[in-house]
Structure 1
């Protein structure tokens, strides 16, 4: 299964996503201490950075929606990439749970926002790519927000691309490669076990991974639309030679494999389940609040099903409920039957093309 991007932002030719290295062509000996924000975590991440002499192949500007005007992000890099990698690992361990709590603290647990991005800030978050969620705080390194009135992140200063490229390597080599196998092994153990007390954990993990498949598709489609320059590309997510295009397809097929395991594991039809008679069913080990949440999700999903796109051209792969809705489909019928997504690389490159 593929649950994370292999990396490679193409912001520099000095190294790829598999190399965690320092950029040693410094302009001077000055070390700046900056703070950046990352997604929902309320606590900023403190970094030590230095200015370097950029090469022609180093990108030092951010562009938006293919506009010619761009934002200078400066030629800054991490002062010590290995030290930063260790500090980032500690930062995640200390703040990951708090960050999740921050996202849901003001939301009703019964709200559909628990499974579907709501209007307002939620939709704005959905439009951001992961690397565009890193913003400078306090010390601005002499930089200022660009793009004028069309700035996608008003008032924000985007982090230097070299720093983002170095973090891309850190995430890939020191975070994802370590955590992803552990996550998949744990889920596989639960799926193959008779431990009914782990049922809600399996449900939640499956739900989150399938939802992320939609968000991944959504982000890649957004990026393609904003950077195509009006040209029709070979697939919905970019041209065939782009590694990120095949990455999205791999995410889709990983979602299909996960759904196959889930359908075997759940052993009940949640869409027609008799909630007043839990009895000896597979849900008997769930806590009352877990049953309440599951019942609520099923009820709201029934209301949302007619509005979920049915074809790639309509945007089904990017819809936040498309993949998770398949968790609740049990009986084949003209309305509920579905087949795994068609390949959109070598076999049928035109599938979902706009």
Structure 2
């Protein structure tokens, strides 16, 4: 672990030197990449430096304990008493920080809530859970943009709602919300006071970034030919028309609108980029659709990740056995303790499965 930390510190220092190079500022794309890598490393490097400082302090104080002067020994003992309890906790923090990160954690999310079993009551709960997420987003200063919503037949209910949450590390906080949420309570329409059980589904997807289409020159075959159709004498005598074939995908684009070969080539390349973008976007869409299906399930009550029991003011997260008897506060957006518990559980599981890395 410490060899890796030393390498990381060396890399962090090298990045700092790169960022002080005036020529790097001229290449904004590269500068932003270097700055991001440096920001990502900074917390780990700072924590490692803290660990090293504590270790060096302990070593110095231990050496001082060999002195014959009682005052020096007393100072050394006091120093050891201060430093030694800090060493192990800082080391544990470093182990957690070195765990592999979810590459989607920094992304915005697309969240979808849909009514499952329970009819109108499920639709009402969709609206309430979405409101809970809006309150949670406000606490984190995230931006929320509703993309679509479908109201139910009763006032305030939603059959489904889809929104984008934008902000700092949204996915890292919200990814644990995917699944079936079950609600147990007495509906307003219930005349005999019976508790009903309903369910809604929540899907949280990392927002797909804009697809960058990089086209290599070696992947293109460019043919020129004489334009056909109206346009006068030059149409048939100049090789102004362009046909571009993207060899990896066998996508073919032709353009002969312009008399200039250069302009036709520029137009053809724009069309080619658009087509390749569409192909990649569709591939990502299919992956997301498959992920959405695996997250949502059927919406049946038995496939629950969490139960909201209103008569008992209790929230239960079944994945980690967490029980919270402040359901009213949770519904007002006080979701952080539950999410923190899920994150801690996730980290603990990763630590179990990655002992070789943290040893």
Q: Could you state the TM-score of these two structures normalised by the residue count of structure 2?
A: 0.19
The structure where helix makes up a greater share of residues is: 2
The structure where strand makes up a greater share of residues is: 2
Report which of the two structures shows the higher radius of gyration computed on alpha carbons.
2
